[in-house]
């Protein structure tokens, strides 16, 4: 799964997965003008999307060939306004069970300041 390269929305926002293991996924993206809301700040929906993707990739890597995962809950807190720069998201596990997983995702700026923190719950959908 470390060769994750989805050509849809993630590509549109410029999200790049740097590393993906069963215990951690790291991704990065550049804050660009088309990702800003009308007041010139990074749109919160972008941060929610990053939390969703990075947590989902993490869950999928851990679940592996047992099946697929789907997001069931995304709770993202916005902690610092951002207008420009490169952000890095890191997912780490909180709980990994038979039917569901819970991941914590921190999004930090290039000065290592916390911009957002999210939790993503995914359901494990085992192959039939």
Distance, CA of 85 to CA of 16 (rounded, Å): 15
The verdict on whether 84 is a catalytic residue reads: no
In degrees, to the nearest 5, what angle opens at C-alpha 73 toward C-alphas 92 and 96? 40
- Each residue's pLDDT tens digit, 109-125: 999 999 999 999 999 99
pLDDT tens by residue, 60-111: 999 999 999 999 999 999 999 999 999 999 999 999 999 999 999 999 999 9
pLDDT at 3: 53
**E strand map for 21-81:** 25-31, 67-78
Residue 5 — φ and ψ, nearest 5°?
-150, 70
Cα-only R_g, the chain: 14
CATH T-level fold of 9-126? Thiol Ester Dehydrase; Chain A (3.10.129)
Q: How far apart, in whole angstroms, are the C-alpha atoms of residue 23 and residue 103? A: 10
For the chain, give the number of residues.
Answer: 128
Identified catalytic residue from 52, 84, 119, 128: 52
Domain boundaries, the chain: 9-126
> pTM for the full model?
0.93
């Amino acid at each position: 799964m470390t060769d994750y390269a989805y050509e849809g929305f993630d590509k549109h926002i410029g999200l790049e997965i740097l590393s993906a293991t069963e215990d951690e996924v790291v991704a990065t993206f550049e804050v660009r003008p088309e990702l800003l809301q009308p007041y010139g700040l990074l749109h919160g929906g972008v941060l929610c999307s990053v939390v969703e993707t990075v947590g989902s990739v993490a869950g999928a890597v851990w679940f592996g060939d047992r099946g697929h995962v789907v997001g069931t809950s995304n709770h993202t807190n916005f902690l610092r306004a951002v207008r420009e720069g490169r952000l890095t998201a890191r997912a780490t596990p909180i709980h990994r069970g038979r039917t569901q997983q819970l991941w914590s995702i921190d999004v930090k700026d290039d000065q290592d300041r916390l911009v957002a923190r999210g939790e993503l719950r995914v359901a494990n959908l085992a192959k039939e």
